[in-house]
Amino acid sequence: MRYTRNGSLNLNAQSVLVASDGSPVMGETGKPVRLEAGTVRIGEGGEVFLDNRQVGRLKIVAFDDLSKLQKEGNSLFAPRSAGLTERKSDARIKSGYLEQSNVNPVSSVVRMVEILRHFEAIQKTVNLVMNEMNPKAIEKLGR
């Protein structure tokens, strides 16, 4: 059994709801969610609707101890041992949205470069001031 937080779901050639890596999405019954042709919608509680008729519910779970999960690939988690206990989650699903990082990598790198340049400018200023002050201090102390 594998778990994911990746909400990018699709139908495969066998009409099974699958995650972005191709692994089947499980329903509450423990079986993969199979859908026929029609308009699919997923409700906030994980209800799966086909043409506004509920045909199943996603298995949405939570864990008391996340350290018992190990990461596999980009978005999968597997139990480290048989002692992993899952419980029903009170998480809400937002259909049509994908969870993303709260950090924009490009702007973060740009900001980091800006900070580095400011640091280098301050460091250069301090070095210039110290290089001018040291000879003057030695000259005055020598008098």
Q: What is the pLDDT of residues 1-31, one digit of tens each?
A: 777 777 777 777 887 878 777 777 878 777 8
State the chain's mean pLDDT as an integer: 80
Q: pLDDT digits over 69-114, tens only?
A: 778 777 777 777 777 777 777 778 777 767 767 778 899 999 999 9
- Whether residue 18 is found in the same domain as residue 74: yes
Looking at residue 142, its pLDDT comes to 67
Residue 95 belongs to some domain of the structure: no
pLDDT over 90 at 115, yes or no:
yes
Phi, psi (deg, nearest 5) at residue 84? -75, 125
Residue 51 belongs to some domain of the structure: yes
What gap in Å lies between CA 14 and CA 7, rounded to an integer? Answer: 20
Residue 58 CB-half CA count within 13 A: 29
Tell me what the mean pLDDT of segment 41-58 comes to. 80
- Whether residue 60 is found in the same domain as residue 121: no
What gap in Å lies between CA 55 and CA 66, rounded to an integer? Answer: 31
- Whether residue 33 is found in the same domain as residue 74: yes
Least confident of 50-59, 80-89, 121-130: 80-89
- Whether residue 70 is found in the same domain as residue 22: yes
Residue 93 belongs to some domain of the structure: no
Q: Which helix (H) or strand (E) holds 56?
A: strand 53-57
- Whether residue 71 is found in the same domain as residue 111: no
- Whether residue 67 is found in the same domain as residue 21: yes
Residue 97 CB-half CA count within 13 A: 9
Residue 28 belongs to some domain of the structure: yes
- Whether residue 12 is found in the same domain as residue 66: yes
- Whether residue 8 is found in the same domain as residue 60: yes
Looking at residue 61, its pLDDT comes to 78
Q: Are 89 and 60 in contact (CB under 8 A)?
A: yes
Looking at residue 143, its pLDDT comes to 65
Ramachandran sector of residue 110 (left: φ over 0; alpha: ψ -120 to 50; beta: rest) = alpha
Residue 81 belongs to some domain of the structure: yes
The range of the structural domain enclosing residue 136 comes to 103-143
Looking at residue 97, its pLDDT comes to 66
Instruction: Please tell me which residue, 105 or 32, carries the higher pLDDT value.
Output: 105
Q: Are 35 and 55 in contact (CB under 8 A)?
A: yes
**3-class SS shares of the chain: helix, strand, coil, % to 5:** 30, 25, 45
